[in-house]
Structure 1
Amino acid sequence: MITARHQDRDWADEAIRRINAENNRSADTHLYSVPLPEHLGVKLYLKDESTHRTGSLKHRLARSLFLFGLVNGWIREGTTIVEASSGSTAVSEAYFAQLLGLPFIAVMTRTTSREKIALIEQFGGTCHLVDHASEVYAAAEELAASTGGHYMDQFTYAERATDWRGNNNIAESIFGQLALEEHPVPRWIVVGAGTGGTSATIGRYLRYQRHATRLAVVDPENSAFFTGWQEHRDGGSCADVTGLPSRIEGIGRPRLEPSFVPAVIDHMIQVPDAASVAAMRHLRDVAGLHAGPSTGTNLWGVWQLVAQMIADGETGSIVSLMCDGGDRYSGNYYDDGWLQAQGLDPAPHEATLRSFFETGTWPA
């Protein structure tokens, strides 16, 4: 018995060493200055999370979740790793499972992009497809139980697996990269809510460091997060708040996830799905950056906050995230035929963006 325990610890020690070594080999992600008309008086920075080895912001989350599972004794040699994911988290977890020699199963809806499924399989994972987003939780739990594996459960553990005080988390990285800029303490940081983990980490860090920066969270139409935050802000109970599955991959949920912490969010903006697509495409036109739809959601909120700063006579900076690259979405969000089939028309929102860049004002 003692020998078995020693073997478990020896294996876990080596697994943690491999993950930390992978992190040590990795450079920080770029913080791009996005060119804006000088007369606006506001600087915009995008942190390009697509440059991680697995191509998205979720690389950070996957690393943290694996370390959390290892130090808690939940992940051992031979453990099958199971996750409920719309794609990017599963891609990153498949990579880390392969790094540790562990089998990996991703539970996701059939609507997940083919490009993401191919990436999961490229890293040695397998995909278990379900019809509706509400089914992923139970299916993942059942698969973990039937295989004797571990359900990572990003939606529960995202907010606690990352050290919000620093330790090279994304918030600390942002402020380090802004140190020599004209406005090193941004007026706003703008992120989306998928698990809620990123917004919880950044919101807590801002308060812990006593920064004047405010946190704005953007949310796709029909997602439960926006309504839940409103209920919390107004003093009501958000326990029973529900929404619909999001058409924007990676963010928005049909229920309030355990990792969503509304109290650390200063402002939320609900974004039409077609507007996310318009802003995603607009970014490529104005900055030459090819991003996915959740980045578009971020930017639709960013432009409204820039307009508000201009209207209030404020100068300063705003930071947001480029969550993943656009190559993963060539078969859907960048395909006009697919958009039409989904009832998504970005044209009116593209007109809004053109008008904003010309006038610096946002329509009522």
Structure 2
Amino acid sequence: MTTQWTTSAINAIQADYQRSADTHLIPLELPVYPGVSLYLKDESTHPTGSLKHRLARSLFLYGLCNGWIREGTPVIEASSGSTAVSEAYFARLLGLPFIAVMPRCTARRKIEQIEFYGGKCHFVDSSAQIYAESERLARETGGHYMDQFTYAERATDWRGNNNIAESIYRQMSREAHPVPRYIVMSAGTGGTSATLGRFIRYQGHDTKLVVVDPENSVFYDCYHQKCSHLRCDTGSKIEGIGRPRAEPSFIPGVIDDVIKVSDQCSIATLYWLEKLLGRRTGASTGTNVWGALQLAKQMHEQKQTGSIVTLICDSGERYPDTYYNPQWVAENIGDLTDTQATLPKW
């Protein structure tokens, strides 16, 4: 039975969506690779500043329609920050208490944004601890553990006309190469890559989905070793992507390849991209673009033409204390000089 509050809550989320515009698809010229076009889907322009706005909306609708979230239900989420920011936004929209369980190393700006939307932050020492702690808090508060890592791949309607994959192909329709040869995506929950891969197959597109994986993450090894039980003791330094375990929403069968990207490559590409865009992006965008550039180079060497699409996941304004702090980078990432020298120049 649907309650009046649930109907009102769903309508509030749908009205918020109706007020929002689609995110831009930005062409990035690659003169050193003629015939290869690179596009950046700018997810940083969502109301909460990241790709995770889409996921948070889907998770709330999923929880409401399943009867898991009711009036006054505390919502708990395990997150590295961006999903928690977006979920705090929707929790405030619905008048619900929200608690984010995050590693202590989460960017300060993300913490401030969660609190701005009325959420509370509960910290743990490592990313591997967020799952059990979220379950414990949900039990103690009588709340709902949103569990993005399990439900990301099933909460999103990958067949519909309101997902990121459909948006990419619609926006590409008048380009010189409207069907991308590659879509490049990093994995956190694995939900976005699942949506992209399923949509590609459902629509019969001649596009390969390539996932890029940072250091201290198991997705690369899980994919190539065909083993979902691998674990990593050290957390990823690239916020928002890379996990210590293969999350339930990571679907290897819809992926064509996984590329490992070093932290130095991610951050060096971050600075390279800033000069081209005139603004800052988050580190996961550096990971995405590094992978896309390797594929562009490969296409050029094989005398292929076509397009590549990847994502700007969030804005760099969230990371002044880390990725845009030279001292932090020197201490945690290392010297970028050699890596920067390998990036295209024009």
Q: TM-score range by the shorter chain?
A: over 0.9
Contact 2:80 2:106 in 1 (8 A): yes
Matched with 2:230 is 241
Question: Partners in 2 of 1:329 and 1:275 — Cα distance?
Answer: 17
The answer to whether the 8 A contact 1:197-1:260 is kept is yes
> Aligned equivalents of 1:172 and 1:91: distance in 2?
25
TM, length-normalised to structure 2:
0.98
Q: Is the 8 A contact 1:35 1:287 kept in 2?
A: no
AA of the residue aligned to 1:128:
H
Distance in 1 (CA, whole Å) between partners of 2:211 and 2:345 is 22
1:239 partner amino acid: S
Matching residue's letter, 1:299: V
Partner of 2:321: 331
Percent identity of paired positions between Structure 1 and Structure 2 = 61
Report deviation, 1:341: 2.1
1:99 and 2:93 matched: yes
CA contact 2:214–2:262 (8 Å) conserved in 1: yes
Structure 1 residue 331, shift from structure 2 partner: 1.1
What amino acid is aligned across from residue 298 of structure 2 in structure 1? Answer: Q
Q: What TM-score does the superposition give when structure 1 sets the normalisation length?
A: 0.93
What secondary structure sits across from 1:40 in the alignment? coil
**Residues in 1 aligned to 2:335 and 2:16: alpha-carbon distance in whole angstroms:** 42
CA drift of 1:242 comes to 1.4
- Which sits farther off after the overlay, 152-161 or 163-172? 163-172
Q: Does 1:49 align with 2:40?
A: no
Q: How does 1:1-364 map to 2 (within 5 A)?
A: 9-37=3-31, 40-232=34-226, 238-243=227-232, 244-353=234-343, 356-357=344-345
Once residues 270 and 173 of structure 1 are traced to their aligned partners in structure 2, the CA distance between those partners, rounded to angstroms, is 27
Where 1:202 maps in the other structure, the secondary structure is helix
Q: Which letter maps to 1:249?
A: E
Q: CA separation in 1, counterparts of 2:204 and 2:333?
A: 44
**C-alpha distance after superposition, 1:132-188 (max 9, x if no partner):** 111100110000110000000000000000011123100000001011111100100
State the distance in 2 between where 1:117 and 1:273 align: 23
Task: Report deviation, 1:313.
Answer: 0.4
* 3-state SS in 2 of match to 1:218: strand
Amino acid at match of 1:326: G
SS in 2 for 1:19: helix
Unaligned 5+ residue runs, structure 2? Answer: none
Flag structure 1 segments of 5+ consecutive residues without an equivalent: 233-237, 359-364
**Aligned partners of 1:9, 1:195: CA distance in 2, in Å?**
31
Cα pair distance change 1:349/1:194, threshold 3 Å: same
Q: What is the DSSP-based 3-state SS (H/G/I as helix, E as strand, rest coil) of the residue aligned with 2:3? A: helix
Show CA shifts across 1:286-307 (max 9, x none). 2324210000000110110000
Equivalent residues of 2:282, 2:314 under 8 A apart: yes
Counterpart of 1:361 in structure 2 is: none
Distance in 2, matches of 1:245 and 1:167, equals: 35
Give the distance between the partners of 1:13 and 1:82, measured in 2 at CA: 22
Partner secondary structure for residue 344 of structure 1? coil
- The Cα shift of 1:343 comes to 4.1
Query: Which segments of structure 1 move beyond 3 Å, counting only runs of 4 or more?
Result: none
Using the TM superposition, give the Cα deviation of residue 38 of structure 1 relative to its aligned residue in structure 2, in angstroms.
6.5
Distance 1:222 1:111 in 2: 15
Q: Distance in 2 between matches of 1:247 and 1:34?
A: 26
Q: Which amino acid aligns with 2:186?
A: G
CA distance in 2, matches of 1:349, 1:268: 20
Contact 2:33 2:296 in 1 (8 A): no
Report how far residue 40 of structure 1 moved: 2.4
Count of residue correspondences? 345
Deviation at 1:39, TM superposition (A): 5.1
The amino acid of 1:346's aligned partner reads L
**Residues 217-252 of structure 1: CA deviation (Å, up to 9, x unaligned):** 0000121111000012xxxxx132112310100000
The alpha-carbon deviation at position 342 of structure 1 amounts to 1.3
| Letter matched to residue 103 of structure 2 | T
Partner amino acid, structure 2, of 1:119: Q
In the TM superposition, what is the alpha-carbon distance from 1:347 to its structure 2 partner? 2.1
Cα deviation 1:305-354 (Å, max 9, x = unaligned): 0000001100111000000001001111010011122143222211111x
